[in-house]
Amino acid sequence: MVTYRTLAELEDAHDQERRTAQRRIESADHYLDLYRSRMFQLRETFYTLGAREGVADDPGFRKELQRVSDTADENVAHAGRRIGELEEEYSAMLREHDEQRDCVLAERGDTD
């Protein structure tokens, strides 16, 4: 653990870590939303194209469209789980920050 000269230095470092972690989570959420939206658009476009070409009801076409859809859904689920892990890590980091702050205050003899 890094030793900080003042409580303010520790709190500044914690603030920076929190902002960085929050940006990572927000960015992951944003990119997942973009991916989900793009995959929905692609499925709709492929189906429309298939309908226009008269193959939308073809079992081979439907099977491949379903395979692509399933893969996209699996990717979204995996990314959602990873975002959940990032949120858990963020919560653990907040608890650790509280403990570090409490230790610094205890060492200084502060009660706040």
Residue 108 forms part of a structural domain: no
Domain-embedded: residue 85? yes
22 found inside a domain: yes
- Structural domain for 56, as ranges: 7-103
pLDDT tens digits, residue range 63-91? Answer: 999 999 999 999 999 999 999 999 999 99
The dihedral through the CA atoms of 12, 14, 20, 22 has a sign that is negative
The per-residue pLDDT for 110 is 64
Inside any domain, residue 39: yes
Measure Cα distances from 97 to 7, 8, 42, 100 in Å.
Answer: 12, 13, 44, 5
Residues near 51 by Cβ (< 8 Å), separated by ≥ 6?
none
- pLDDT over 90 at 96, yes or no: yes
Q: Is residue 109 part of a domain?
A: no
pTM, two decimal places: 0.82
